[in-house]
Amino acid sequence: MAGAALKRLMAEYKQLTVNPPEGIIAGPLTEENFFEWEALISGPEGTPFEGGVFTTRLVFPPDYPLSPPKMRFVGEMFHPNVYPDGRVCISILHAPGDDPMGYESSAERWSPVQSVEKILLSVISMLAEPNDESGANVDASKMWRENRDQFNDIAHQIVRKSLGL
């Protein structure tokens, strides 16, 4: 199965280099291991994360694309849909099938038709529009709902850190 996964990842990498989506640079950390990628994501305009450049890591399972990769922010991130340890919590990265909690439909979850590009675009969308009802970071979710100015201040600090300022 790893052979099929490698072939798929190589094709996705080629597509991302030939036609990269705006605000995203992504590829394998090394040419020897196509199962661990780094992606740089620009903070979306008009959001508290605007101007930032955020480093993420994706780790792909041997049965990719049947199973989703794991994704995390490498540097600091304070966001309702990012666990304090940097792991990204969005529907597209959840295992295929029915949600045992009944929160997500199977159509929202991972399927083999998804791609690295779709994941990264979903993360940009997540940065712009957090889902505070399904918070991976309870403090960030609460602050997003109840004290947007304080949330924005923290986000702006993270943007500065992402730029090495």
Residues acting as catalytic residues: 89
Side-chain-facing half-sphere of 43: CA atoms under 13 Å: 22
Q: Are 94 and 87 in contact (CB under 8 A)?
A: no
Distance between CA 144 and CA 149 in Å, rounded? Answer: 9
Nearest alpha carbon to residue 120 among 7, 4, 12: 12
Question: Nearest 5 degrees, angle CA 74-CA 75-CA 77?
Answer: 110
Q: Is the dihedral of CA 158, 159, 161, 162 positive or negative?
A: positive
CB atoms within 10 A of CB 93: 19
